[in-house]
Amino acid sequence: MTNMDKLYASVAANGPVCVGLDTEFGYLPADFVDTAKTAGENVVAFNRRLIDATKSAAGCYKVQIAYYESLGLDGMRAYAETLRMARATGLPVIADIKRGDIAKTAEMYAKAHFTGDFEADLITLAPYMGLDSISPYLPYCAEQGKGVFVLCRTSNPGAKDFEYRQLADGRHVYDLVADSLTELGKDYTGETGYSSIGLVIGGTHTEEAETIRAAYPHTFFLIPGYGAQGGKAADIARYLNRGNGGVVNSSRGILLAYKKQPGVAFDEAAYNECVRMREDIQGECSKISG
Contact 11, 220 (CB under 8 A): no
Averaged pLDDT for residues 5-27: 98
State the total domains in the chain: 1
DSSP 195-215: BSEEEEE-SS--TTHHHHHHH
Which DSSP letter does residue 34 get? Answer: -
Strand partners, 124: 149
Which pLDDT score is estimated for 229?
66
Per-residue pLDDT for 15 more than 90?
yes
Could you read off the pLDDT of 173-208 as tens digits, one per residue?
999 999 999 999 999 999 999 999 999 999 877 778
Per-residue pLDDT for 228 more than 70?
no
Boundaries of domain holding 175:
3-289
Which pLDDT score is estimated for 92?
98
Could you read off the pLDDT of 34-92 as tens digits, one per residue?
999 999 999 999 999 999 999 999 999 999 999 999 999 999 999 999 999 999 999 99
Per-residue pLDDT for 209 more than 90?
no
Which DSSP letter does residue 169 get? Answer: T
Which pLDDT score is estimated for 231?
78
DSSP 41-103: HHHHHHHHHHHHHHTTT-SEEEEETHHHHTTHHHHHHHHHHHHHHHHHTTS-EEEEEEE---H
Catalytically annotated residues: 98
User: Average pLDDT, whole number, for the chain?
Assistant: 96
CATH label of the domain that carries residue 28: 3.20.20.70
Which pLDDT score is estimated for 52?
98
Euclidean distance between the first and final Cα of the chain, in Å?
Answer: 30
Q: Mutual orientation of helices 266-289 and 39-54 as an angle, nearest 10°?
A: 50
Per-residue pLDDT for 260 more than 90?
yes
DSSP-H helix ranges across 115-172:
138-144, 159-162
Task: Report the distance separating Cα 249 and Cα 243, nearest Å.
Answer: 14
